[in-house]
Amino acid sequence: MSNPTVLILMGSDSDLTTMEETARVLTQFGVPYEMHVSSAHRSPAKTSKLTREAEGRGIQVIIAAAGMAAHLAGVVAAETPLPVIAVPLGGGALNGLDALYAMVQMPGGMPVATMAIGKAGAKNAGLLAVQMLSLSNPEMRTKFVAFKARMAEEVEEKDQALQAARQN
């Protein structure tokens, strides 16, 4: 996309099916993004370069997804003043708990906002990025407020359907 404001990094191409959730959310809100496979362990120079150059290219938020040892978000946070959102990915012997623990245990001074494991976390990473970006974008803020209102309406509709079904 042209003029991306969000950079999505993932440690492996096998993470793409999960991180497509993030891409869908960003697209829904009209947020331009770019996505790369870049590993903290297997391609540290590339990861460092993408991270260090991000702000100068107009990136405002970085979303880093990784599984197992999950060092990607912490490595990224060490290289940039931009906000970093971490998405722990399932798999491995601990089904993503290892990635979650690695991401939420950043040392003081190295903030990383960590989402839930897997697709729900990937979706929420996109939504958190939208919330951050909407602080300086009133149109995006309006879309986000409408999104939340629609969710509440959907819950109410489902409850009304449940109540009607139980009365019959």
Binding positions for substrate are 12, 15, 42
* Alpha helices in 10-137, H assignment, sequence order: 16-28, 44-54, 72-79, 97-104, 119-134
Q: Which amino acid is at 149?
A: A
Secondary structure class of 55 (helix, strand, coil): helix
Question: 114: phi > 0 → left, psi -120 to 50 → alpha, else beta; which?
Answer: beta
**Binding site feature residues:** 12, 15, 42
Tokens 């009304």 belong to residue: 160
Annotate 94-113 with b (16+ C-beta within 10 A) or e (fewer).
eebebbbebbeebeeeeebb
Sign (positive or negative) of CA dihedral 87, 91, 93, 94: positive
